[in-house]
C-alpha cells in the first residue's frame, strides 16, 4: 500500500529514538508507529527478556561460556496483541511483556546489556527487523550502532528529577512498596552503566535531533517528532 501526505507519494524510512531512561522513548515510538502505519520494536524489551532468562536460570554473567550457551537457548519474537493494541515480546514462546517490567529486571538489565555477546545477538535481530524499513525502534544505541544510516534519529532527554517522578509513578502503580529513593538510585545506576559500558555506550549520534521533553506534554513532543519524520518521508 502506498502512503501519501498532501497528495505526494512517500517512501518508508527508519526512525530511531535513543536517550536516557524514563524519557518516554517507548511512548513516543509507539505513537509515531501507529500514526505512520510503521512497525514498532522495543529493543529494551529484548534485553529485559534476556535478563529474565538469565535470572531464572541463575546464569553467571562473569562466565562468558555460560552466557554464550544460554544465549543459544533463547528465542525472542514480537507478537501483536489486539487487546492491548501493541506488539508484546515472547521469550521461548511465553509472553513476558509484563514480567520484564519489574524493578528486579531494571536493576540487572544494564549489566546484561553491556555484555558483548548479548548485544551482538540483539543487534543482529534488530537489523533483520529493519531490512524492509517502515520501522520505529527505541533504545540506547539504535541510531549509533543498529541503524547508523537511519533517515530520522531522535535523542531524548529530560531533567533528572522529572525522569525519577515519571518512573516512580509507573512503578508505584504495580508495586506500592517502591520508594522514590529506590527509583532514583536505579536510574542513576543505569545511566552510568549505559553511558560507560565498553560495548555500544549510550551517546547521541552526531546527526540526531535532541528532544528535551522536560517541559513538554506528550502531544507537544509527538507533534515535534511527527513533523521531523514527515519532513524526511516525503520524496517530492
User: What is the phi/psi pair of residue 48, to 5°?
Assistant: -65, -40
pLDDT tens sequence for the chain (236 residues): 445 555 555 689 999 999 999 999 999 999 999 999 898 988 999 999 999 999 999 999 999 999 999 999 999 988 888 888 788 899 999 999 999 998 899 899 999 998 999 999 999 989 988 998 999 999 999 999 999 999 999 999 999 999 999 999 988 888 899 999 999 999 999 899 889 988 889 999 999 999 999 999 999 999 999 999 999 987 53
- Asked if residue 3 is part of any domain, the answer here is no
Dihedral class, residue 84 (left if φ above 0, else alpha if ψ from -120 to 50, else beta): alpha
- Asked if residue 8 is part of any domain, the answer here is no
Pick from 204, 212, 160: nearest CA to 186: 160
For residues 17 and 29, give the distance between their C-alpha atoms in angstroms, rounded to a whole number: 7
For residues 234 and 211, give the distance between their C-alpha atoms in angstroms, rounded to a whole number: 22
- Confidence at residue 3, expressed as pLDDT on a 0 to 100 scale: 55
For residues 183 and 167, give the distance between their C-alpha atoms in angstroms, rounded to a whole number: 7
- Asked if residue 2 is part of any domain, the answer here is no
Domain coverage including residue 30: 13-230
> How many CB atoms sit inside 10 A of residue 193's CB?
16
- Confidence at residue 1, expressed as pLDDT on a 0 to 100 scale: 43
- Confidence at residue 66, expressed as pLDDT on a 0 to 100 scale: 97
> CB within 8 A of 209, min separation 6: which ones?
152, 153, 154, 155, 228
Task: Count the domains in the chain.
Answer: 1
- Confidence at residue 198, expressed as pLDDT on a 0 to 100 scale: 86
- Asked if residue 49 is part of any domain, the answer here is yes
> CB within 8 A of 111, min separation 6: which ones?
61, 193
- Asked if residue 7 is part of any domain, the answer here is no
Per-residue CA distances from 71 to 66, 91, 121 (Å): 9, 12, 8
Pick from 215, 213, 204, 209: nearest CA to 227: 209
Pick from 38, 3, 171, 4: nearest CA to 17: 38
Beta strands in the chain (DSSP E): 4-5, 8-9, 14-19, 39-42, 76-81, 86-91, 94-95, 135-139, 152-157, 209-212
For residues 83 and 30, give the distance between their C-alpha atoms in angstroms, rounded to a whole number: 15
* Domain CATH for 62: 3.40.50.300
Q: Does the model's pTM come out above 0.85? A: no
- Asked if residue 67 is part of any domain, the answer here is yes
Amino acid at each position: 500500500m502506498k502512503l501519501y501526505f498532501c497528495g505526494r507519494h512517500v517512501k518508508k524510512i527508519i526512525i530511531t529514538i535513543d536517550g536516557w531512561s524514563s524519557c518516554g522513548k517507548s511512548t513516543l515510538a509507539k505513537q509515531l508507529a501507529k500514526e505512520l502505519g510503521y512497525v514498532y520494536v522495543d529493543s529494551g524489551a529484548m534485553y529485559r527478556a534476556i535478563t529474565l532468562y538469565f535470572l531464572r536460570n541463575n546464569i553467571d554473567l562473569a562466565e562468558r561460556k555460560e552466557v554464550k550457551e544460554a544465549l543459544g537457548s533463547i528465542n525472542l519474537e514480537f507478537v501483536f496483541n489486539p487487546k492491548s493494541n501493541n506488539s508484546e515480546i515472547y521469550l521461548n514462546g511465553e509472553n513476558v511483556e509484563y514480567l520484564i517490567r519489574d524493578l528486579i529486571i531494571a536493576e540487572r538489565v544494564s549489566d546484561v546489556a553491556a555484555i558483548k555477546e548479548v548485544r551482538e545477538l540483539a543487534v543482529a535481530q534488530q537489523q533483520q527487523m529493519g531490512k524492509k524499513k517502515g520501522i520505529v525502534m527505541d533504545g540506547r544505541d539504535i541510531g549509533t550502532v543498529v541503524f547508523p544510516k537511519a533517515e530520522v534519529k531522535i535523542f531524548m532527554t529530560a531533567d533528572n528529577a522529572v525522569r525519577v517522578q515519571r518512573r516512580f509513578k509507573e512503578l508505584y502503580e504495580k508495586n506500592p512498596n517502591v520508594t522514590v529513593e529506590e527509583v532514583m538510585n536505579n536510574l542513576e545506576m543505569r545511566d552510568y552503566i549505559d553511558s560507560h559500558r565498553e560495548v555500544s555506550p549510550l551517546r547521541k549520534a552526531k546527526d540526531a535531533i535532541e528532544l528535551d521533553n522536560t517541559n513538554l506534554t506528550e502531544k507537544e513532543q509527538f507533534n515535534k517528532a511527527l513533523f521531523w519524520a514527515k519532513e524526511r518521508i516525503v520524496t517530492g
